Amino acid sequence: MQVIPLSPLDLSIAGLLIIAIALISLRMNLKLERQVMVAAIRTTLQLLLIGLVLKALFTHVHPAWLVLVATVMLTAAGREVMSRQKRRFSGLWGFGVGTVSMCISSFSITLLALTVIIDIDPWYEPRYAIPLLGMLLGNTMNGISIGLDRLTMTAWDQRTTIEGRLMLGQDAKEAIGDIRRESIRGGLIPIINAMSAAGLVSLPGMMTGQILGGSPPMEAVKYQILIMFLIAGGTGFGTMTAVWLGARRLFDERQRLRLDRLRGG
């Protein structure tokens, strides 16, 4: 089956939907028209750029290029995690908590998939490594963002309760335990919903892309199951790590709640 090429006109017709959303936002005074248009422009430019980068990577396969691209992706994801939080940790912690968590979870699971599950040779083949890492980072980023945002906002709103628990003799882990659990739960809900709805409510993107590209449906299904499990693992471990690091950062070595380490509002 031959892939049907898309022309600039085809993409422009689809882009009219974005313009329509922006116009409706303007008419309804939602104040989202600028954000919608900027997001659409960023999507177009970023995807065109990564298309050129991937074309060059496929031609010149080398682990150094893969590491460079992965570092750029991780840095951008870390910045997005920080910018999406209403109250975030100040200083390097604001950037570091999410970035370190994504690095630990997404990179290790991607490496596991490349070397053990898919077992490609060489393991740094960009045709497999970059898409896998991108899907893992994107979904892990969402889970970590939700988890950390819920952690910091709830800790701020319930600071009196937390300090009361500390005064009653609980340690930091006990005082913030229920908030930490709910934060992790919030970060995992999107991927749980995605897995529960896959095949019934929605056809996931990778599976759809493979089918449109001519792959046999059952082979596309098997790859999608693999991706969903990898994403769930990356999101789960990443969110747990980020919330654990964030909860520790909210207290000092004397078990005192330190909300002055947060900024924003």
pLDDT in tens, 177-199: 999 999 999 999 999 998 898 88
- Residue where one domain finishes, among candidates 35, 60, 85: 60
The pLDDT tens digits of the residues spanning 37-90 come to: 999 999 999 999 988 988 888 888 888 988 998 999 999 999 988 887 888 898
The 3-state DSSP class for residue 214 equals coil
- Residue where one domain finishes, among candidates 25, 60, 95: 60
Domain with 30 in it: 1-60
Residue 210 and residue 105 share a domain: yes
- Residue where one domain finishes, among candidates 12, 44, 60: 60
Residue 18 and residue 128 share a domain: no
Cα separation, 48 vs 63, in Å, equals 23
Residue 16 and residue 141 share a domain: no
Q: What's the pLDDT band for 92 if we cut at 50, 70, 90?
A: confident
Across the chain, what does the average pLDDT equal? 89
The pLDDT tens digits of the residues spanning 97-134 come to: 999 999 999 999 999 999 999 888 888 888 889 889 99
Residue 158 and residue 40 share a domain: no
Cα separation, 84 vs 150, in Å, equals 11
For the stretch 53-69, what's the b/e string if a residue is b when 16 or more beta carbons lie within 10 angstroms of its beta carbon? beeebeeeeeeebbeeb
Q: What is the predicted pLDDT for the residue at 165?
A: 93
What's the whole-number mean pLDDT along residues 198-215? 75
Question: Is 11 exposed, middle or buried (CB count within 10 Å of its CB: 0-12, 13-18, 19+)?
Answer: exposed
The percentage of the chain sitting over the pLDDT mark of 70, rounded to a whole number, equals 98
Residue 151 and residue 235 share a domain: yes
Residue 149 and residue 103 share a domain: yes
Q: Rg of the chain's alpha carbons, rounded to an integer?
A: 21
Cα separation, 257 vs 35, in Å, equals 36
Cα separation, 33 vs 23, in Å, equals 7
Check: CB of residue 93 under 8 Å from CB of residue 246: no
Residue 121 and residue 40 share a domain: no
Is residue 220's pLDDT more than 90?
no
Residue 174 and residue 45 share a domain: no
Of residues 21 and 53, more confidently modeled: 21
Number of separate domains in the chain: 2
Residue 73 and residue 5 share a domain: no
Is residue 248's pLDDT more than 90?
yes
User: Looking at beta carbons, which pairs linking 161-164 to residues 24 or more positions away fall under 8 Å?
Assistant: 162/257, 163/257
Is residue 1's pLDDT more than 60?
no
Instruction: Name residue, tokens 């995605």.
Output: 194
Residue 232 and residue 136 share a domain: yes
Residue 165 and residue 244 share a domain: yes
> Degrees (nearest 5) of the Cα angle 89, 184, 72?
55
Residue 96 and residue 15 share a domain: no
